């Protein structure tokens, strides 16, 4: 595999072409942003951990029938993935009230939701990623109804699989964000699965083991990411 032209410099990752037109190389950076890009920082070692954790989760999901863009890990910070036509949506699944839901619903952080909730956000930096419903998505031609149904089905399956995996490691899955893209007529899971886009709490102490440590200036950020990696992979 040869690292080709830079395709896209994102906030947390950089995407390169490869010598295979159907594959891309994703490079995981240590950069972290919050508050729609207003807050920026470096979490030293984060990229290495997120690459490992994403590899772990995508492999576990594949073993349980969930297809993703993951091809192989190609270095400490590099992952080879299928080149997708990305769907401009962030698909969020929530089990417990946290983050933006605290204000929106006026519920205390940590309140369990009776059923898991799915939400869609328009991936648009200019608009600040507004929340959309299924009708907005279809009206804007962001995805077809059958693609939406597939994404929703996969999102809930991922929720069940990850909750089970994490429960065995004394971690509660509070919420997470997924992205999807099209490849040869199929909708595949894409991007990353890591403490950058999931909320993980220790089951007993409710200690936060995710990017909220950075968002809320709690300290011990990279230590929390490392703790997640150790619990899942050691």
**Residue ranges that bind ligand TMP, judged by CB under 6 A:** 90, 92, 98-101, 129, 175-177, 197-199
8 lies in the site for ligand ADP, by CB under 6 A: yes
Token pair of 107, please?
């519920």
Residue selected from 78, 191, 212, 227 as contacting ligand ADP according to rule CB under 6 A: 191
Query: Are the CB atoms for 47 and 23 separated by under 8 Å?
Result: no
Torsion of CA 210, 67, 59, 197, to 10 degrees: -10
Q: Which is nearer to ligand ADP, 25 or 148 (by Cβ)?
A: 25
> Residue holding tokens 């950069």?
31
13 binds ligand ADP (CB under 6 A): yes
- Total number of residues shown for the chain: 234
Q: Give the one residue of 1, 3, 4, 15 binding ligand ADP; rule: CB under 6 A.
A: 15
Out of 181, 189, 193, 221, which residue is the one contacting ligand ADP (CB under 6 A)? 181
Q: Which is nearer to ligand TMP, 77 or 199 (CB)?
A: 199
Label the pairing between strands 78-82 and 23-28: antiparallel
Residue 195 DSSP code: T
Q: Shortest approach of ligand ADP to residue 151 CB, angstroms?
A: 14
* Spatial separation of the C-alpha atoms in residues 188 and 84, rounded to whole Å: 8
Rounded Cα distance between 141 and 71, Å, is 29
Which residue number has the CB closest to ligand ADP?
10
Answer for which of 1, 66, 74, 86 binds ligand ADP (CB under 6 A) is: 86
Q: Which residue number, 147 or 175, has a Cβ lying nearer to ligand TMP?
A: 175
In the block, tokens 């619990």 appear at 231
Could you say whether residue 82 binds ligand ADP (CB under 6 A)?
yes
190 binds ligand ADP (CB under 6 A): yes
The site partner of 86 among ligand ADP, ligand TMP, none (C-beta below 5 to 8 Å per kind) is ligand ADP
Q: List Cβ neighbours of 172 (8 Å cut-off, separation of 6 or more).
A: 95, 96, 166, 200, 201, 202, 203, 206
User: Minimum distance from CB of 1 to ligand TMP (Å)?
Assistant: 28
Residue 151, phi then psi, degrees to nearest 5: -60, -40
> What does the binding site for ligand ADP look like in residue numbers (CB under 6 A)?
8, 10-13, 15, 24, 69, 81-84, 86, 179, 181, 190-191
């Amino acid at each position: 595999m040869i690292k080709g032209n830079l395709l896209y410099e994102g906030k947390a990752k950089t995407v390169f072409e490869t010598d295979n037109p159907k594959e891309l190389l994703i490079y995981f950076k240590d950069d972290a942003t919050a508050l729609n890009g207003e807050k920026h920082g470096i979490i030293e070692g984060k990229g290495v951990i997120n690459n490992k954790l994403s590899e772990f989760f995508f492999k576990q999901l594949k073993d349980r029938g969930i297809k993703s863009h993951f091809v192989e890990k190609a270095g400490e910070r590099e992952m080879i993935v299928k080149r997708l036509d990305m769907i401009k949506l962030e698909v969020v699944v929530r089990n417990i009230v946290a983050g933006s839901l605290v204000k929106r619903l006026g519920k205390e952080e940590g309140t369990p939701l009776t059923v898991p909730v799915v939400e869609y956000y328009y991936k648009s930096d200019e608009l600040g990623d507004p929340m959309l419903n299924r009708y907005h998505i279809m009206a804007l031609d962001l995805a077809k109804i059958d693609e939406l149904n597939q994404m929703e089905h996969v999102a809930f399956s991922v929720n069940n699989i990850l909750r089970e995996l994490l429960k065995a490691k004394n971690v509660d899955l509070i919420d997470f964000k997924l992205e999807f893209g099209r490849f040869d007529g199929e909708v595949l899971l894409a991007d990353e699965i890591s403490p950058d886009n999931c909320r993980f709490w220790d089951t007993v102490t409710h200690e936060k083991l995710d990017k909220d440590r950075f968002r809320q200036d709690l300290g011990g950020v990279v230590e929390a990411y490392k703790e997640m990696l150790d619990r899942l992979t050691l």
